[in-house]
Amino acid sequence: MKRGFLFSLDALISVIIVASIAAFLGVMVLSYQSPQTSYQRMYYAGKDVITVLEKGTIGSFDNMLNISGYVSSGVLTEDDMNKTVMDLLGSLWANGMSDKAGEIFSAIAGGLLGTSYNYSLRIDGQDIVSSGGDQLMLARLSTIASGYEMGQPVEGYVSRAYLSSVSMVGSEYVYFGGYEGDGNITKTLVMPDYD
């Protein structure tokens, strides 16, 4: 009887040791994140923010921003409600209101990312806003918004040219093939003057 009891006590102790080792290894495996996985999470979170900035209109962020406060203070107009967030940030920066662009970006990026990620906004090499200091891991994403220059008007003018009458009908042909042009289709046509 005592021999069976000792055998079952040994078995119980070995099961406890094996279970402890399995639990320890399980915790180690679950708590470890590879750098590649962490980078992918940061990259896709940042990519989502960039997509929202490029496609979302500023009017759709009324729940994150105090839009009426910006409108009443003259920072935004009713026409700005249909602009994308990226266009609005570029417009504010070009008009010398980088601090307002930073506030709007922080509200949107902070609302989308939460406190688990830090972010920063740079326009033309100028730091507009940053939520944190040095990081151990960095996922850098960028996008292009053209047509903005500091101190220059954001909206421009469009010109149009048209013919009022045609006095002569003529034709000019351009042949493309072989080595002419070699992939670059550029041809200057000179029509004769029929005045």
What number is the average pLDDT over the span 110-136?
82
- Whole-model pTM: value is 0.60
Tell me the pLDDT of the chain averaged across its residues: 78
Phi-psi label, residue 110: left if phi above 0, alpha if psi -120 to 50, beta otherwise: alpha
> How many angstroms separate the CA atoms of 86 and 58, rounded?
9
Nearest-angstrom CA–CA distance, 53 and 105: 9
| Angle formed at CA 42 by CA 27 and CA 138, multiple of 5 degrees | 105
pLDDT of residue 5: 55
CA separation, residue 157 to residues 9, 91, 94 (Å): 90, 16, 17
Alpha helices per DSSP H over 73-192:
85-94, 98-113
Take residue 166 and report the two structure tokens written for it.
Answer: 């045609």
The average pLDDT across 132-142 equals 76
Average pLDDT over residues 146-168: 67
Chain position carrying tokens 């906004």: 121
Q: Does 163 have pLDDT greater than 70?
A: no
pLDDT, tens digit, for every residue of 31-86?
666 778 888 888 888 888 889 888 888 888 877 777 778 888 888 888 888 888 88
